[in-house]
Structure 1
Amino acid sequence: MSFERFHKHLHTVADNTICVSYDRLTTKFAVKVGDTVAYSKYFWFWPRHNATVQIGDSSYALSVYWFLIWGASLKKDDSVVVKELLPKRRRRSISILGYGVFIVLVRAAFVVFTP
């Protein structure tokens, strides 16, 4: 796994192309509809963020959670429009968490089973 500073992904919502990006160094999360920025925020140390994003003529609820496993979704009227806005970021967070758990279990096994 190589280090990637920016994670980006394109989605189509209500006949509009949205670009979702996340900067790992500055923790800046941005949602662009076409060329205009619909939402932009620095996450810093807060693990949960909720916001309302205007896409076209409709309002959507944006929910981002990044404590141990990354999750970012877009909802409209309690129905999920986009389940994961940055799927590569989510896969990477799950694999790093899995690797960390595996290493802790191996270390614990060496402590328990060594005489």
Structure 2
Amino acid sequence: MAAGYLTTHVLDTARGVPAAGIKIALYRVAGNSHRKIAEAVTNADGRTDAPILPKGKFKAGQYELIFFCGAYLEAAELATGEVKFLDEVPIRFGIADEDAHYHVPLLLSPYGYSTYRGS
């Protein structure tokens, strides 16, 4: 059994705080097929309460995290109106090492975002 796992968190870089209450969906991607395999919501620390892809379910392949940020940005008064510049933020990435910890965070502001492979 693979010992690796996947974690994530969201930081609100516009306000310099963790982003709580953001829904996150994780999809397994194969060609044009997307299959949802997990869903979570960020806690007060901007993290999920458990790995979004825990040991035992962690497999090599292509994945996509979708961060549903629109409601958070609106509640924080960082975005208004029906059409927001950022609403759903997708991050597609690959997992090659089934025994590693992959951490894919989202650094979020109303008009931009970034990510990296963390630890």
TM-score calculated relative to the size of structure 1 = 0.35
More helix per residue: 1 or 2?
1
> Considering only CA atoms, is the larger Rg found in Structure 1 or Structure 2?
1
More strand per residue: 1 or 2?
1
Structure number with the bigger relative contact order (C-alpha 8 A, sep ≥ 6) is 2
